[in-house]
């Protein structure tokens, strides 16, 4: 059984709640998240085997109709994406040579998709995937590692969502200071 994650973002809170309920009833999935995000959006995130997640997201999209902001199913999602979404990642060491990479997106869906591609590119530690709460509807993913690995990871994330027009900005900061990194964690 292949592990997948599905993310559905709605521009209507009421319809988002309705869609989340329909998603849970449509297939045997795990509901990771169903909550309001700003400004006036609703986010539902589910996980399980690929077929169940696809069925669940499909049902949610159907219920949302014109209220869908974005949706994605990511088969074989990297486990660090789920940890970063739940705020469970830890940085156990620090190297002065490390770079910090940030991908900022207009939607949570694009951010999760970009973060998965970035971490799968290898050589980086995903620190956080922040899903639009308190961010004016934007989201961001942050990662740390050697400069070249972070550059490659950010590029991989951009390639994954570039055609969708959902990337607001990116940054690779070589030799990130311990003070700034500490304030972000």
- Pair 50, 106 in one domain: no
- Pair 66, 118 in one domain: no
Structure tokens at 152: 């490659």
- Pair 13, 104 in one domain: no
DSSP annotation of 171 reads E
In this prediction, residue 164 carries a pLDDT of 62
Last residue of a domain, one of 40, 75, 110: 75
pLDDT digits (tens, 9 = 90+) for 1-11: 468 999 999 99
- Return the CATH number at 86: 3.30.70.1710
pLDDT digits (tens, 9 = 90+) for 84-95: 877 767 777 777
| Predicted model pTM | 0.82
- Pair 70, 31 in one domain: yes
Number of domains in the chain: 2
Q: Which of 22-26, 106-110, 140-144 has the lowest mean pLDDT?
A: 106-110
- Pair 69, 100 in one domain: no
Q: Which domain holds residue 117?
A: 79-184
Last residue of a domain, one of 75, 90, 109: 75
In this prediction, residue 1 carries a pLDDT of 47
- Pair 68, 84 in one domain: no
- Pair 107, 173 in one domain: yes
DSSP annotation of 17 reads H
CA pair distance 72, 5, nearest whole angstrom: 8
- Pair 116, 43 in one domain: no
- Pair 21, 59 in one domain: yes
Q: How confident is the model at residue 135 (pLDDT cuts 50, 70, 90)?
A: low
pLDDT digits (tens, 9 = 90+) for 112-134: 889 999 999 988 999 988 877 66
Q: Percentage of the chain surpassing pLDDT 90?
A: 56
Q: Is the pLDDT of residue 173 over 80?
A: yes
Nearest to 117 by CA among 99, 129, 134, 135: 129
- Pair 90, 115 in one domain: yes
pLDDT digits (tens, 9 = 90+) for 46-70: 999 999 999 999 999 999 999 998 8
Last residue of a domain, one of 15, 49, 75: 75
Task: Give the mean pLDDT of the chain.
Answer: 88
- Pair 101, 163 in one domain: yes
- Pair 25, 97 in one domain: no
């Amino acid at each position: 059984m292949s592990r997948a994650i599905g993310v559905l973002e709605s521009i209507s809170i009421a319809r988002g709640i309705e869609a989340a309920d329909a998603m849970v009833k449509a297939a045997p999935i795990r509901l990771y998240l169903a909550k309001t995000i700003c400004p006036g959006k609703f986010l539902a995130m589910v996980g399980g085997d690929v077929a169940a997640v696809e069925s669940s997201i499909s049902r949610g999209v159907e219920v949302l109709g014109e209220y869908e902001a974005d949706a994605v199913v990511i088969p074989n999602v990297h486990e660090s994406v789920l940890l970063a979404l739940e705020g469970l990642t830890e940085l156990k060491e620090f190297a002065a040579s490390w770079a910090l990479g940030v991908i900022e997106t207009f939607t949570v869906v694009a951010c999760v998709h970009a973060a998965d591609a970035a971490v799968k590119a290898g050589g980086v530690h995903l620190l956080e995937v922040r899903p639009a709460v308190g961010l004016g509807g934007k989201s961001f993913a942050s990662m740390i590692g050697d400069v070249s690995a972070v550059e490659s990871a950010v590029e991989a994330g951009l390639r994954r969502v570039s055609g969708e027009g959902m990337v607001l900005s990116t940054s690779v900061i070589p030799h990130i200071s311990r003070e700034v990194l500490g304030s972000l964690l």
